[in-house]
Amino acid sequence: MVNRECAFVLSRRGVCVLLFCLYLCLCTACFFPRMAGFSDEWLLPKWYLSVSVAAALVMAEAYLLYIRSKVAGLPRGRLFSAALSVAATLECLYTFGVFFYHGGTAYAGASGTFDNPAGLSLCLCLSLPFMYSFVRDCQGKTLRAVGYAAICLAVAAVCLSRSRTGLLCLTAFLVMLLYARAKIRSRVKAACAVVACLCVVAFCLTRKEDSSSGRRFILERSWELISRKPWTGHGSGGFEREYMQVQGDYFARHPDSGYAWLADEVRHPLNEFVLAWVDYGVAVPCLIVLFFGFSIFRLSRRKEGFSTALACSLFALFVFACFSYPSKYPLSWLVAVAALACLLWKPLSVRLHGRFRRVYAVAFGLLSIAVWTGLVVEYHYERTWSRAARCCLHGYSEQMMPVYGRLYRHYSRNPYFLYNYAAEQFYAGCFASALETARECHVYWSSYNLELLTGDICRHSGRYEEAISHYLQAGNMCPVRFAPLEGLYHAYKDSGDTRKADSVSAVIRRKKVKVPSSDVVRIKAEAGGGPD
C-alpha cells in the first residue's frame, strides 16, 4: 500500500515537472531574442517557437487525458506563474546587460529582446502580476527575497524602456496593491489613487508632445475610415489597405498642416479597438471590450492568487490595447487564452473526463500534429524567402528570380512578399514584371514605400506620367521626406521638362531637414543643385 502511494506521488511529481518545463519553454519563447533566417527577425521567431511549444503542451495534456492520469488537482496556475516569473527575470537580466553594454544612460529606450521599447514594457507589465502571485505563494524566506528582487528588476526595466503606457500600468498596479494590502481609510486610499493617476496622466501628456500629436492625427484619420463604413468595416487588412491613402489625401488638401512635420509610414492606429473597428465594424471592438470587462470582473471575484494575477494582467493588456499594438506579441495571446481557460476550466474538465474522454484526447493529439505540420511547411517557405532576400542583398537579384517565382505561389496574397518581389524584379531589370507585381501589392497594401517603388519602376520603364503621379502621392503621404522630390526631379528631367525639374530642385534646396542623413546630403547635392 505504501509503495503504491509513493508511486502515485512520484508520478504526480513527474507530471508537475513536465508541465513546468513546458510552461517555461512557452514563456521563454515569448521573450525569445532576435534570430536570423526570418523575414521579420524580431517577431516571427517568438511566434514560431511559442506556437510549437503550445502544440507540445496540448499534446502532453492530451496524453494525460488519454491515460486517465489522476492529475485533476495539479497546481497549473502556480506552475505557470513560476515559469513566467523565471522567463521575465531572464529578460530583465538580458535588458540590463544590453543597457550597460551600450553605455548606461546613453542607451535610449531599452527594448531587450523586442523590436521596440513598447514590446518590452508590455510583456514585463503582463508578467508582473504573476511574479507577485508566485512570491506570495512561496514558503521559504530566501525564495521570497529572490522573488521580490526579480519584481524590482522588472519594474526598473519597465522604467528603463521609457514607455508611458508601461508607467501608467505600474501606477495602476501600485494603486491596486494599495487598496488590497494597505490598512488605511478608504478615503485616503481614494485620494492617493486620484493624485497618482493625475500625476501620471499629466506626465504622459507633457512628455513626448510630438508623439502625442502624431497619435491624435492618426486617430483623426482613422475616424475618417470608420465613418465611411462604421457597421461592416473595410474587411481584413482594411487599415493597411486604406489608411495611407487617407493620409495622403489629407496632406494634398492641407499642404501647410502642422502635422506634415510628424507624418510617417503608418501600419497600425496604435489602438487595437480602432483597428478592429476599421477592419470589421463596430461589433468586433464591442465584443472585445465585453470580453475584457467580463473576464476581469469574474476573475477578480474569485479571490484566488492565480485568478487575481490573470485579472491584473488582463487589465494591463487592456491599457496597452488602448495605446499600442499588443496583438503583435505572443505573450498577449497567451495571457488571453489562459484567462479564457481559467474561466471555462470547471465545465470543460467535467466534459473532457466524461465518456468521450479518449475521443477528445485523440482529437487534441491530432490537432497538435496538424499544427506542427503547418509550422514545418511555413518555416520551409520562410527560410527560403529569407535566404533569397539575403542573396539579393549581395547583388544576386537576377539569379534569385526563379526562387521568388516558386515562392509567389505560396505568398501571392502577402503584401510584404509582393513588395519585396517587386523590388527585386526592379533591381534585376525586369521592369514589366515588377510593375505588375507592384500593382498586385497595391490591392492589399497602401504604403509610402510602395508608391516610391512603383514610381521608380514606371520612371525606368519610360512611363513618366505614371511615375510623377506615384511620386506625388508618396510626397503627400510623407511630406517631410526627400525621396519623392528626388524621384520627381529625375522624372521631369528624363522626360525633358527642365522647367519643372528646376522648380523641384528649388524646393529641395529650401526644404528643411527633419533627420540629417547621408541620403539627404546626396539628394540636396544631386537634385538640389548643391549642398544646403
Specify the pTM. 0.93
Q: Is 416 exposed, middle or buried (0-12, 13-18, 19+ CB in 10 A)?
A: middle
**Sign of the dihedral through C-alpha 90, 93, 97, 98:** positive
In sequence order, which residues have a C-beta less than 8 Å from that of residue 96 and are 6 or more positions away?
153, 156, 157, 160
Count Cα neighbours of 226 within 13 Å in the Cβ-side half-sphere.
Answer: 18
pLDDT at 186: 64
For the chain (length 532 residues), average pLDDT per consecutive 10? 42 84 97 92 96 96 78 80 96 90 61 93 97 89 92 94 90 82 63 67 65 90 96 96 96 92 93 97 97 94 90 96 95 96 82 78 94 96 95 94 96 96 96 97 96 97 96 96 95 94 93 89 80 46
pLDDT at 7: 38
Give the architecture (CATH level 2) of 379-526.
Answer: Alpha Horseshoe (1.25)
Rounded to 5 degrees, φ, ψ at 325 are: -135, 65
Nearest to residue 212, comparing CAs of 165, 161, 159? 165
